[in-house]
A and B are shown apart, each in its own frame.
Chain A
């Protein structure tokens, strides 16, 4: 099977100009190597500052990587001309977190759903009508004339999904798509996403801070910490038996996803503040109980930990 997304040694640096003078370099993505197969759902987890949003921006070609190569839906967006890029965008779409900010406030639902067609200058008969798109996401025609402020959070998110699918993409990046929704509504939207994936053979890059949601949606998982991919593998393996101490800590924070094994291996967390981002050594060494001198001097690389997962740690958790 061909890879839908492939990142090789991707680095993304931002330079910040401090008000107090001088410049600082913030390494948001630190040599990411990632491969996502077509037709699957890849769950990306991480806390704030992990680089999740930067990764989605790079995949969506909203930002160019500082170095490294990326291949998304068969092409490298950083090397394409403007026309090629626009054509490429038909295959790669996104759904964002904030249902209140992700729909243009001044357009009606119908206008929002016809934008993709207009942008790519396609004829009406070549695309799916707004009414049909709405029914695919479980909304009726009555919504066509409404503006986003007249819709509920769940309805707005459905419209976002409808817009994303308007031109039948192959990859959809879901950036915290249900985090702002009520719990009881969340599951319905997730179910919709799963159904649509089946019906249209979609690949999802699913980003979320909510481990339970990722657990329910993802086939494969990757965990980011301070810009580094510290563990990846099948959802089953990583959730049941995480190899990296940080992954274990994430799971331990979630009573429903923890088991005894995880809880003990992630027992006490240290809290030593170190400027670890982008530097040599393991970025987690300030919090990791199991840190030893080598963790300070050598950056761990992503190597297989089990048959179905890999982790970047000098002392991976043994099972």
Chain B
């Protein structure tokens, strides 16, 4: 359990680091948000007024202290553009992003696991070749192109699924397919590789020598070991997905945090951007923490720590 405590502390530090970094970058990069919010040629007074309103006239350190203090109280500030608090905006949109991410991951897994395992059982066989070819192709497909194509094929040409907006289960289909495709390709290959690696290990050879059945060897011996590297990759990939939903949300007009952030960026709405970055970072860190927990559950060496060593 000390292992997990260490990871939690680590996670908190990382989130702090991300927050500070975001804050600094947003404030340090050239370009004054206040100026960008008013028509060009406005007088300096007008710009200064906006700055006071936004709070960007104060020295950097003060801004940061204020921000830190407010954050710890749960107040992420107010949107520069909309009349709502950042927390409220995020609360409205994050669940939508979560739903999309979750269904995508589950869909991807539902396909990748059986496919990857079967491909590894008979490498060079029919299923393996197809799985590999399809995976390489799907992995190469940019998700936003796929999304747009799907919209064209199923919403514009033939009205099968709704093209935009979040409106019932049907509207979840196209965005999920878009997000899940690349993930599925990567996962299939990862699972295949790690299962192959497990099949070639000493303990599988010994298990065969014991006379165990193929089913037991595949699912109890090989799969358990193969799930460790798979979970690692899954954690990283989920991170990519979380950070990249904005494109899919844009294409399908899905009201998630990604779309929120994109709009905020275009409108120079810094508190919102800051808030979204933090939320995404926290999610990523939580996902990795979950991965660490899974390691501890699966691998006794992580739980116990080498007490006696192998000699």
Contact = CB atoms under 8 A, between A and B. Distances in A.
B contact face: mostly helix, strand, loop, or mixed: helix
Contacts of A49: 311
A19 B5 CA distance: 11
A79 interface: no
Interface string B8-42: 00000000000000000000000000000000000
Contacts of B6: 21
A21 B305 CA distance: 8
Interface in B297-311: 302-306, 311
A22 B2 CA distance: 9
Interface residues of A, number: 7
A201 B303 CA distance: 54
Nearest to A21: B2
Contacts of B1: 20
Most buried by B among A18, A19, A48, A49: A19
Contacts of A22: 2
Contacts of B2: 19-22
A19 B311 contact: no
A20 B6 CA distance: 10
B305 A18 contact: yes
Contacts of B311: 48-49
Nearest to A17: B305
A19 B305 CA distance: 5
A165 to B, nearest CB: 34
Contact of A21 (B3, B302, B306): B3
A48 B302 CA distance: 24
A227 to B, nearest CB: 14
Interface in B36-69: none
Contacts of B302: 19
A140 to B, nearest CB: 39
Contacts of A19: 2-3, 302, 305-306
Given A19-B302, A20-B1, 11 more contacts: A19-B2, A19-B306, A20-B2, A20-B303, A20-B304, A20-B305, A21-B2, A21-B6, A21-B305, A22-B2, A48-B311
21 contacts: A18-B305, A18-B306, A19-B2, A19-B3, A19-B302, A19-B305, A19-B306, A20-B1, A20-B2, A20-B3, A20-B303, A20-B304, A20-B305, A21-B2, A21-B3, A21-B5, A21-B6, A21-B305, A22-B2, A48-B311, A49-B311
A22 B304 CA distance: 12
A82 to B, nearest CB: 35
Interface of B: 1-3, 5-6, 302-306, 311
A294 to B, nearest CB: 28
Contacts of B304: 20
Nearest to A18: B305
A199 B5 CA distance: 61
Contacts of A18: 305-306
A21 B303 CA distance: 11
Interface of A: 18-22, 48-49
A22 B305 CA distance: 11
B2 to A, nearest CB: 3
A102 B2 CA distance: 38
A278 to B, nearest CB: 15
Nearest to B5: A21
Nearest to A273: B308
A277 to B, nearest CB: 12
Nearest to A26: B309
Pairs A-B, 8 closest by C-beta atoms: A21-B2, A20-B305, A19-B305, A18-B305, A48-B311, A19-B3, A20-B2, A49-B311
Which of A20, A48, A49 has most chain B Cβ within 10 Å?
A20
A19 B303 CA distance: 8
A84 to B, nearest CB: 37
B237 to A, nearest CB: 26
Nearest to B311: A48
Contacts of A48: 311
A52 to B, nearest CB: 13
A50 to B, nearest CB: 11
A18 B301 CA distance: 11
A118 to B, nearest CB: 39
Contacts of A21: 2-3, 5-6, 305
B156 to A, nearest CB: 55
A22 B303 CA distance: 14
A48 B2 CA distance: 30
Contacts of A20: 1-3, 303-305
A19 B304 CA distance: 8
A62 B1 CA distance: 35
A18 B3 CA distance: 9
A22 B6 CA distance: 11
B238 to A, nearest CB: 25
A21 B4 CA distance: 10
A48 B311 CA distance: 8
A90 B274 CA distance: 59
A67 B238 CA distance: 50
B228 to A, nearest CB: 15
A48 B310 CA distance: 11
Contacts of B306: 18-19
A20 B303 CA distance: 7
A188 to B, nearest CB: 31
A219 B6 CA distance: 52
A49 B311 CA distance: 8
A92 B305 CA distance: 38
B8 to A, nearest CB: 13
A49 B308 CA distance: 12
A18 B137 CA distance: 44
A48 B1 CA distance: 31
